[in-house]
Structure 1
């Protein structure tokens, strides 16, 4: 018998390993699922040049020149006018809440200025919290608008007329006029850091007890499933509070991120978000059998969450199905809240819907965790 190498022994070890792999279904699913998710997300969902961006129109006239400008902007593929604001205040609320990426204002004397060649103007207000979203759409404005007016006047063929009465497009890059990418990334990092640490640490809460052999002691205590769950997740709320202080301090001191909104509103949203995360992690711990499985499930959740939430890539650049899928992640809603409060100075009415979704996630994860705990441990 060869003591150095034996094909028979190697074959037995391979068979054993394949049987073990078949038993560990979560690991096997991760090996097949993660590459497939990466392929689909990077291939179909990720787009750094978003098109068909929602826009609001503020116009008191319906003259041919106004219609020509609106039609020309829609033809570029960047603008989708699905809101007609009756006033500037209504348009301001839409852009502060994030319902639209642009507000196009055409003044009442626009047609008269066009016909008299007196430098007609339109105002484009762009939500520049994400510079990548606004840059492509803004770069096409001047040429497209001027050509649309010349076609409406019937003078497109005359080069001299192209210079006469040139359209003046006034662009206001709201909330981030310098186009500084850190203004968009750093507020988002608050949510990403909290998600990575809170979900990961609480996901091993119960599996750690099982692997250490202390689960029996935990079950022997005169505690209800709700009390055990609260005892497991509440300490991490304090850890999350420390992380919030560190990230906000770094955002102000290191990156000079402006903070124009209500600190109390932001902290309230952070509290609900962290509670949702720790409950999600606890839910994962009731599903996984080992700490390795818990960490694998956590990673399986992280990948689509970060990619589809609008942190790494423009949310509005994704296809409709990817945007719908992205709505199921708490991070998506939290990023909207942090950017709206910190950069736009948004108040509660503007972010109430997103906070409501976070509350729904808290209730959902808590309910699932309690049901799973009863089924597996009682």
Structure 2
């Protein structure tokens, strides 16, 4: 009971220190509100409002129908340009796509003669260029088939989008940003709190008190866990579900449970990194590549399936990889506890490993 009391008082001390630091409070609020909203609504790789031009050398009813079929929100209203303007327009970055319809376009198709269309693409934005070229091809073929009465293929493929029926990127990006924010702050706040004790000279005061390294570590992690988990939950409910209108399919309490386990393991990693450095600047330089690497390899930005097989196996030991898979199952697919229990088990195991390493390193540092 005495040990629990020490942890409680140390936790309250950490919360008061955090409350007295307006910069850290502003960082927490910004990370889970403005950053989540702006990333979800502003960072897009799919085709939206792309600038397109059409070189119509046929001036037929079919060529006008193809031009009219290039509609928002995928594309801006097509601009009509001359063939000599194609290269200068692309060089100047005025258009991403330029579709060229040759002379006798409609008459050649009606006479069953081969027709070559040209599509110039500014491929500096690779994802948008590839997807947009595929959309334009589908639109052109569909318009030609509709206007000329081309027979439909004998097989029709019905596509159903599950978990995101409208294909809105905000649904995925907003949730992933909440998890990335949780990762970043879970590393920075506990590590900064430990280094602040050393830089302000209050670490010696703690050592003079009847507290143990374990109690200090639990207080550092526990205080920041309260703040970060509460902020992540409010961000999920108010920003993601409220402001961005992203439906939450699964259990929010189950997500909070997984967030707590994840936060404890990553916070222990933050304390471990702090014990390896002597200043806040060194800690920032060390923590930056760590959480960037963990984000890039977690599956929150790029699919794990696109990675080499050996790398897919290696990243399974990262807490972020397990947490992203857990959160996607709960929030998007409505998974229950039984389905995500293996992920939680791995997170608990990784948390114990990081916590044990941080505790051992903290004892060694305090002894020095």
TM-score computed with the length of structure 2 as normaliser:
0.56
Counterparts of 1:242 and 1:371, CA distance in 2: 29
Contact 2:268 2:354 survives alignment (8 Å): yes
Q: Give the Å deviation of 1:312.
A: 1.7
1:164/1:261 Cα in 2 relative to 1: closer, same or farther (>3 Å)?
Answer: closer
* Residues 1:274 and 2:230 aligned together: no
1:371 aligned counterpart, secondary structure: helix
Take 2:254 and 2:194, find their aligned partners in 1: how far apart are those partners? 33
Any gaps of 5 or more consecutive residues in structure 2?
1-44, 46-126, 135-150
Q: Which residue of 2 aligns with 1:341?
A: 330
- Secondary structure (helix, strand or coil) at the match of 1:170 reads coil
RMSD across aligned positions (CA): 2.6
What is the CA-CA distance between 1:165 and the residue it aligns to?
A: 7.9
Match of 2:196 in 1: 208
Q: Indicate conservation of the 8 Å contact 1:284/1:298, yes or no.
A: yes
Structure 1's consecutive aligned runs of 4 or more residues displaced over 4 angstroms after TM superposition are: none
* Alignment match, 1:166: 154
Q: Secondary structure at the match of 2:314?
A: helix
Residue number in structure 2 paired with 1:42: none
Kept in 2: contact 1:207–1:291 (CA 8 A) = yes
Instruction: Classify the secondary structure of the residue corresponding to 2:158.
Output: strand
Of the three residues 334, 338, 351, the one matched with 2:340 is 351
- 1:189-218 C-alpha deviation (Å, 9 max, x unpaired): 121111111211111232222222222212
- SS in structure 1 of the partner of residue 259 of structure 2: helix
Secondary structure of 1:179's partner?
A: coil
Q: Report 1:285-296 matches (<5 A).
A: 285-296=274-285
1-structure distance, mates of 2:153, 2:200: 79
Please tell me whether residue 315 in structure 1 is matched to residue 304 in structure 2: yes
CA contact (8 A) 2:251 2:334 kept: yes
- Whole-angstrom CA distance in 2 between matches of 1:373 and 1:287: 9
2: CA distance between counterparts of 1:264 and 1:201? 24
Among 288, 312, 329, the alignment partner of 2:318 is 329
Distance across 2 between alignment mates of 1:187 and 1:164: 40
How many pairs were matched up? 225
Alpha-carbon displacement from aligned partner over 1:298-335 (angstroms, at most 9, x marks no partner): 10211211111112222211222332232232122111
Q: Considering fraction of residues, name the structure with more strand.
A: 1
